Amino acid sequence: MRRVVESFTLSLTCVGSSRKAILLPGHGRMASISMHLSEYDTCRLPMPGAARYDAPTELMLDGGKFEEAGGRTLGDFVSCYCPRLCKLDVCSPTGLPQLVIRSETLEELSLFLAEDLRTLDVRAPSMRVLKLQLCFAEPESFDTDGQGTSNMARIMAPRLEEIAMRNYGGRRRPKLEIHDMASVRRLGKVVFLDMHGPYCLDVDGSFWLLENCRGVEHVSVSLYHRGGCAATHRDLVDLTSQGAAPFDNVTTMAIRAPNLSERHLNRRWLLRCFCDEVDPWKFHRKFSLGSLEEVTIRGFLGADEDMELLALLFEGSNSIMSVTLHAVPLFPAHVSLERMLAEEDEKDTESTAQKLTNIPYTDRGYWHFGKDATWTCYGTENAIGRHAC
């Protein structure tokens, strides 16, 4: 180990149900440590004062069970014995109920499938990226009785620029205390919104992020519908209501519907949900996306709802420079936009191309139709005319 300089990687495969205790070495000059353990392996951290890792800048721990008895906590290990650590990536751990980190150098923290986690407390003045994906999955976080949860995520990172957060469906998000969010510029990958007509089911952290990150410039949004959902009024956010938070600084927005197929648009296939009786959604007021320049929509089907969304975006922003519509199939039943247009040409109906061309304010540019559809503002290719468009 004393001769390792650049990196150390350990990958263990599970043989039967044998259990192994993996003890990190008490010394080492490697810059990167990566450990991939099976569910039967125990990751045992060094005793307090028994090790110091002056060289590592990246630590990746995948799988395994943490044994934190006797003061061997991951938080203490990172805070006290890794003075140069910049990136911490923890995936699928067990036995990690809390993680408390105090680090002057940590720049990126990623937690994925940390289901046992109940308390996250981080102070990292240099941190720029925070990713919390499918964590805080204690049974009490199930939204069955409408009560709050004791799970907590407290973050103090004044230089934070990017946040990615995803919660389990049907589970209430932890209490979030993220200070100094004025510096956040990117929300992705991705913000998940459970949509029900004009309402958003606000039980995870996605809408909270949209509401509190006022300076965000880049947003990736994934829309889905959890059929059969029951909700109380306190869980619903009316996206058409007055006083909604503006997004004046957004320049790039990606909208995805990755879990919706064509059958989801057919009422016969839908599970009964409280939003079935809601009138077709309409925005009752204008809103502004004054800085929006680029729009990407994936899973485009050419439905009326798709056209209404595009009309809404064009009406809300005269700064849009490009729009890309992807109909690349995420499911075998889907077809490409090129095929959709060809099939429509054989019918005596208004084609998707005609509908797109007729959207108000699109005469500022032109459409190009192929496998995908793209709209480009006149003069975008010419830097001189870019802002005159």
pLDDT one-digit tens code per residue, 237-291? 776 665 555 667 888 877 776 665 555 555 444 445 555 545 444 555 566 777 7
CA distance 135 to 167: 7
Mean pLDDT across the stretch 33-40?
87
Q: Among candidates 359, 347, 343, 378, which has minimal Cα distance to 306? A: 359
Query: 135 lies in a domain?
Result: no
SS3 152: strand
Q: Is the model more confident about 37 or about 12?
A: 37
Range from 132-141, 149-158, 207-216, 361-370 carrying the lowest mean pLDDT:
132-141
Range of weakest confidence among 16-30, 88-102, 173-187: 16-30
Per-residue confidence (pLDDT) for residue 270, from 0 to 100: 46
Q: Is residue 340 part of a domain?
A: yes
Mean pLDDT is lowest, of 12-16, 121-125, 184-188, 266-270, for 266-270
Whose CA is closest to 55, among 77, 86, 34, 76?
A: 86
Question: What element of type H or E holds 207?
Answer: helix 206-212
In a domain, 268, yes or no: no
Cα 103 to Cα 76, 128, 364: the distances in Å are: 10, 13, 50
The domain total for the chain is 1
Token duo for residue 235 = 């869980």
Q: What percent of the chain has a predicted confidence (pLDDT) above 90? A: 27
Q: What is the pLDDT of residues 145-169, one digit of tens each?
A: 455 568 899 999 999 999 988 887 6
In a domain, 374, yes or no: yes
Instruction: Using pLDDT thresholds of 50, 70 and 90, give the confidence band for residue 384.
Output: very low
Closest CA to 255 of 287, 290, 286, 295: 295
Ranking 300-304, 341-345, 349-353, 354-358 by mean pLDDT, the lowest is 341-345
Nearest Cα to 48, choosing from 80, 11, 4, 9?
Answer: 80
Model confidence at 375: pLDDT above 90 = yes
Distance CA(89)–CA(128), nearest Å, equals 14
Instruction: Name the residue range of residue 252's domain.
Output: 246-262+288-389
Could you tell me if residue 169 is inside a domain?
no
Element containing residue 153 per DSSP (H, E): strand 152-156
Mean pLDDT of the chain: 77
What pLDDT, on a 0 to 100 scale, did the predictor assign at position 126?
Answer: 97
Q: What separation, in Å, do the N-terminal and C-terminal C-alpha atoms of the chain show?
A: 61
Look at the block and give the residue holding tokens 């910049």: 86
Residue with tokens 């721990």: 61
Assess contact for 249 and 216: CB atoms under 8 A: yes
